[in-house]
Each structure stands twice: as structure tokens, then as C-alpha cells.
Amino acid sequence: MKKPTIKDIAKTLNISPSTVSRALSARPGVSDELRRKVIETAEELGYMKNLSAQTLKNSKSKIIGIVAFDIRNPFFLDFLKGVEDVLFPREYKILLSNADENIDKERTYLNWLISQGVEGILSSPISEKNGRSNLKLYRDFYKMGVPIVFYDRMFHNQEQFDYVVVDNQDAIIQALMHLKENGHENIGIFLSKKGIFTIEERLKGFFKGCKLLNIPVKREWICEDIYPHEKTFEVLKNLKDTNNLPTAIIATNNNITKYIVYYARKLDIKIPDEVSLIGFDDTPENELIDPPLTTVKQPILEIGKISSTALLSRIEDRYTLPMRVTLKAELIERESVKCIKI
């Protein structure tokens, strides 16, 4: 037996579908008496509104699309929670995509989202080493009037788009200042895949901060493209074998943080006695690791809340001014940085 529709309710009550529609949508123009009866029989019949029909009719799906750069990243635990917190009370639903750091997959999902009729998109856009990205597609969507808010990542010089990101340069500068205060001048940085917006920014922040603080930059200590994680081992081992370890390392994402701890232990490099470490992304476990990790903490829940709030307001008012938010990261001091000031 098929799902009952508005028509079935109309028929059982001998009224017209339009009246049923009005009654169920809480719109005016129906007597209280009738409305009550409609609602009642709707329940009896087990009626559930068909949102596809409604969407088709008034082109409002009450769905927003999320494009995740990689759904396995713990980033999404807090981010999704933040988004869901603001969406749920407003009855918006989430269509979840996972780009897996792959621009082709991202493109496929973006097209699906549009076809599905999402009212807006929350995206952390992928870009590859060679600079390839789906910027053109995002631009097309922008022209079509699809509200888009970038979170965590964005495109440079595309000021028409809304975004909510962290000040990644400042985040690294904070880390550098902390290291400098603790007497470190020989500082390395481990970066994951090239091309990723946040990683590029963190590297820029490193250069900027070193200049600012008068910290010498040494080519071998800028370890780029640390991926997959075994590369962490190679690089660390090489640095150790050549007796060329910096006194401190800054990690630039949670995964690298984790693997530096892991492989340093295997290589018998003592943290923080031999090398100090500042982690990136404060997963709850960072406090429990040995040693508890001094970490740059991003306000991820906030990114979720703010970006989704921004998206909703743009959905409601397409012609509002660009919303560009840059949040500050925070340095959580624990025990992985040793003071070596003389």
C-alpha cells in the first residue's frame, strides 16, 4: 500500500486537497474546526508530507550541502556538531559529501548537491599541488545565486565569497613566539600535502614569524609534503642521523602531530628533552599523550556554528554584503616545549 497523500486525506473528509494543504501547513484560511479534523485524520492515515513535491513546487528544499575535505579528519566531529546545532532548530537538513582531498570527487558531489536542490553549500574547497581546483565551478554556482560559505579553507583573491577560516599565519606565529620565549632558535616545521590552503598559510606564517622574531630559517627544517605518514619517519630519521635535529618542531595538523610523537618515540628522540614539539589541532587526547602536548587549538565548533549561521542568513538574504570571518587560534601550553634559555 502506498503512502497516503494530501489527496487521501481530502477524500476521506470530502474536502479539497488545497484545504488540506492549508490546514497542515498552518496557514490561515481554514476554520479551526476543520483544521483539527484534518490534522486528526492525517495522523490516523499515517500521512507524512512529501518534501520532494514541496521542493519541486516552491524550490525550497530546506537542505544544505556540506563538502568535507576528508571526513576522517577529527575536525569534522566538532565542525558537524557546530553546524547541526544551528541547523536543527531551523529545520534544515544536512546532505553530507566527502571530497577525500580529491577535486574530481569534490566536483561530482558539488553537482549532486546542486541537482538535489540544496539551498546553500558549506565547503572546504580542495586544491591540488599543481594549483588545480574547482574554483570555476564555485564561480558558476555563485553566478547562479547558490549561497556558498567556505569554511577552514578558501580561495585567495575571491572576495565575492563568504568564508569562515582561522588565522593560520597568526597561529604559527603564536607558536614561534612561544618557542622563542623558551629560548628556541632552531625551529623546524612539518607540513602535510602541498597545495592545501591551510598548510600554505601556515608555512607563510612560519616565514613571516621567523622574520618578525629574527629566527634563522633553515631549508632542511622546512619539511614539506609529509604524506603518507611514513614520510614523517624518514624525515625524522634523516635529521637525526645527520645530527641535524632542530631544537623544536611545529606540526601543522593533527595527523602530523600524532606521527611525530609516534616516530620520535621509535627513533628514541626524546620530547621535549631533545626536541620540543608544538602540535596542531587540539584533539582531547593531546592532554593524555606522553608528554602532554603544547598545541595550537582551532575553534572548530565555532567555525561550524558561524559558517552555518552565515549560510542561513545568506539563504534568507542573497544580496547582503560578503561575510568574511577570520577567527584566532589559541595556544594551549602543556609540557612538550622545554625551556632552553641559558
Partner DNA sequence: CTGAAAGCGCTAACAG
Partner DNA sequence: CTGTTAGCGCTTTCAG
Chain contacts with DNA (rule: CB under 7 A):
2-3, 5-7, 14-19, 21-22, 24-25, 27-34, 47, 49-50, 53-54, 56-59
Query: In the stretch 39-78, what mask flags binding to a copy of itself with x, by CB under 8 A?
Result: -------x-xxxxxx-xx----x-x--x----xxxx-xxx
Query: In the stretch 193-222, what mask flags binding to a copy of itself with x, by CB under 8 A?
Result: ------------------------------
- Per the CB < 8 A criterion, the answer to whether 285 and 295 are in contact is no
Nearer CB in complex with DNA: 17/183: 17
Q: Which does 284 bind (CB under 5 to 8 A by kind): a copy of itself, DNA, none?
A: a copy of itself
DSSP H/E element including 81: helix 75-87
Give the residue among 115, 142, 117 at the shortest CA–CA distance from 125: 142
81 touching a copy of itself, by CB under 8 A: yes
Q: Which does 144 bind (CB under 5 to 8 A by kind): a copy of itself, DNA, none?
A: a copy of itself
CA 83/CA 305 separation, integer angstroms: 5
Q: How far is CA 260 from the centre of its chain?
A: 23
Nearer CB in complex with a copy of itself: 36/265: 265
Q: Which member of 225, 262, 267, 340 binds a copy of itself (CB under 8 A)?
A: 262
- Residues forming beta bridges with residue 294, ordered by sequence position: 278
Q: How far is CA 220 from the centre of its chain?
A: 31
CA 316/CA 147 separation, integer angstroms: 10
Q: Which does 183 bind (CB under 5 to 8 A by kind): a copy of itself, DNA, none?
A: none
Task: Tell me the closest approach of the beta carbon of residue 207 to a copy of itself, in angstroms.
Answer: 30
Nearer CB in complex with a copy of itself: 71/177: 71
CA 313/CA 120 separation, integer angstroms: 10
Task: Tell me the closest approach of the beta carbon of residue 44 to a copy of itself, in angstroms.
Answer: 13
- Per the CB < 8 A criterion, the answer to whether 9 and 38 are in contact is yes
Nearer CB in complex with a copy of itself: 49/194: 49
SS3 101: coil
Nearer CB in complex with a copy of itself: 260/337: 260
Q: Is 341 exposed, middle or buried (0-12, 13-18, 19+ CB in 10 A)?
A: exposed
Nearer CB in complex with DNA: 65/209: 65
Q: Does the bond joining 299 to the residue before it have cis omega, within 30 degrees of 0?
A: no
Specify whether the backbone of 206 is left (phi greater than 0), alpha (psi in -120 to 50) or beta. Answer: alpha
Restricting to residues 268-297, which ones interact with a copy of itself according to CB under 8 A? 283-291
Nearer CB in complex with DNA: 31/244: 31
Q: Which does 118 bind (CB under 5 to 8 A by kind): a copy of itself, DNA, none?
A: none
325 touching a copy of itself, by CB under 8 A: no
Task: Tell me the closest approach of the beta carbon of residue 148 to a copy of itself, in angstroms.
Answer: 15
- Per the CB < 8 A criterion, the answer to whether 256 and 232 are in contact is yes
142 touching a copy of itself, by CB under 8 A: no
Q: Where are the alpha helices (DSSP H) in 161-222?
A: 168-181, 197-213
CA 133/CA 148 separation, integer angstroms: 16
311 touching a copy of itself, by CB under 8 A: no
In the sheet with 294-297, reading across from the earlier edge strand, the strands are 222-223, 187-190, 248-251, 276-280, 294-297, 330-332
DSSP 95: E
Task: Tell me the closest approach of the beta carbon of residue 2 to a copy of itself, in angstroms.
Answer: 9
What are the residues binding a copy of itself (CB under 8 A)?
Answer: 3, 46, 48-53, 55-56, 61, 63, 66, 71-74, 76-78, 80-81, 84, 88, 91, 93-98, 105, 111-112, 114-117, 140, 144, 258, 261-262, 265, 283-291
